[in-house]
A and B are shown apart, each in its own frame.
Chain A
Amino acid sequence: MALVDKSVFDDAGRRMSEATAGDYLELLKPRVMSLVVFTAFVGLVAAPATINPVLAMIAILAIAIGAGASGALNMWYDADIDAVMSRTRARPIPSGRVLPGEALAFGLILSVLSVMTLGVLVNWLSATLLAFTIFFYAVIYTMWLKRSTPQNIVIGGAAGAIPPVIGWAAATGNVSLESVILFLIIFLWTPPHFWALALFKSGEYGRAGIPMMPNVAGSLSTRRQMLAYAVLTAACGVAPWALGYTTAGYGLVAAALGVGFVHYSWKVLQMPDGDEVMKPAKSLFAYSLLYLFGIFAAYLADAMVQRILPLGGV
């Protein structure tokens, strides 16, 4: 039994929440969170400083919760467009399992909790960066850019690119060139990754009224821009080796992954205009995930090898 105020809920029996813990977990976008956790972990471990392992784990947890909180705020604001897209229709709010107000409160509470935990237990630079990331994703990207400009995911991509910088700042207390290059790798990688999806989902984005690049500038212009960003991403990927602070092993892996990224983007550019299946775009989307995981895994492995074997650069 539950006591309810009838002036608030006229149909209280129907409005009592049926949201399970799993629905709230889904609001945190666990798949996006896993990428954030991984890149933040790489930034934290590769940083030239030692942090207490317990505090390191807490830092990663706080970054993960902060990223999840911004996902919940995104789902709260975007519930209307999520409802009209097949990819997002089953999310907790459009499917009616979680009420918008519940998601908003959940996102805000977790935002404050994650930022305060990182600030009090680790350092305030990393906490400030986390707060900025949440604000940038939830307000600048979700509420402003996403519905107003085809550059939405280009600028908004900054939010997804900051986690390795937060990890770095958690370990060292500062932001350095190395962490900015990690930021740039993800930032430049985001447009080809997202626009590959936007190409084969352009109909859905169009129906939802989201001005994605393929819907606004057309397929060919988008594919040209994707190739340009892929080249820049590949160049940025080998920058840590070119600047001399990683081994040649990392440089080789980064170059190979970069060549693959440019190759798949080139295939997308070659895609005929009337292609309905868009297999090259789907292949690029899948490869882009492999690219980001691969390059950060190589960076992590390189940092660990350099730490274990006191060889310096090879």
Chain B
Amino acid sequence: MEDELVTLTDSQKRARRSRSIAIGLALFALVVIFYIATIAKFGPAILDRAM
């Protein structure tokens, strides 16, 4: 197996940046969605905790 470094063209760099930003935003959105959904599913019971 032989590895080598490849120089990306400008359009490949732009495309990669576009994909990276989209993946980042999608992951962030997933975190927010599951966080808010967890609170929504708990409802008022989220405030019930043993003191």
The chain A residues found within 8 Å of chain B, CB to CB, are: 1-7, 12-13, 16-22, 24, 52, 54-55, 58, 61, 117, 121
Contact = CB atoms under 8 A, between A and B. Distances in A.
Interface of B: 1-9, 11-12, 14-16, 18-19, 21-22, 33-34, 36-37, 40-41, 43
Interface residues of B: mostly helix, strand, loop or mixed? helix
B5 A2 contact: yes
Given A18-B15, A24-B22, A13 B6 contact: yes
Contacts of B14: 20
A16 B37 contact: no
B19 A55 contact: no
Candidate in B9, B18, B21 with the most chain A CB atoms within 10 angstroms: B18
B3 A6 contact: yes
A107 to B, nearest CB: 15
B19 A19 contact: yes
Interface residues of A: mostly helix, strand, loop or mixed? mixed
A24 B8 contact: no
B11 A18 contact: yes
Given A5-B1, A58-B33, A121-B41, A19 B15 contact: yes
Given A13-B7, A18-B15, A121-B41, 17 more contacts: A2-B8, A3-B3, A3-B5, A4-B4, A6-B3, A17-B16, A20-B18, A21-B21, A21-B22, A24-B19, A24-B22, A52-B40, A52-B41, A55-B41, A58-B37, A61-B33, A117-B33
